[in-house]
Structure 1
Amino acid sequence: PERIDDQFKSIVQQALLIALGRDGSAMEIEVSLEFLRHQAAERQSRAKTDDEKMAATRAAVADYCQAVFGLNEFIYVD
């Protein structure tokens, strides 16, 4: 679990930097990590094999990336 948390933290930091052009705040990172942990656990609960568990983790990361694009910073009036 500690190793996956390190990987999730790296993913969160990279995603926020790439998508928003800035580092995430401590609160944004913690909320993001909680989201990823929850999504991964939920998706992995239905997985039967190690390959399915890895796919579930990747799907949780994809869910997070989709959520990043739903942040208020992407809402603007032109």
Structure 2
Amino acid sequence: MMARKGSPSLQALTRARRRELGMRSMEAVLYESELETLDVIKTRLNLTSRSEVLRMMIAKTDPDSFTPADAAVIREDAA
């Protein structure tokens, strides 16, 4: 029997395949405007998910370029 799209068994297979590739899922809390930005990039580049956009952004970012001042801005936004 073949699993139907969206079925729990297909989701489990997808998760297992991704785990084999070293991928993990996470929950992110973002402002609506940030989600809109992800969606604009996703559409413009014909990507299939916001996760792909985030992975692309991380790949193009130098982690050493972030500073404590950058973190302070994010903390202020969340307050």
TM-score with structure 2 setting the length: 0.30
Please state which structure has a larger fraction of its residues in helix.
Answer: 1
Q: TM-score, normalised by structure 1?
A: 0.30
- Which one has more relative contact order, counting CA pairs under 8 Å at least 6 apart? 1
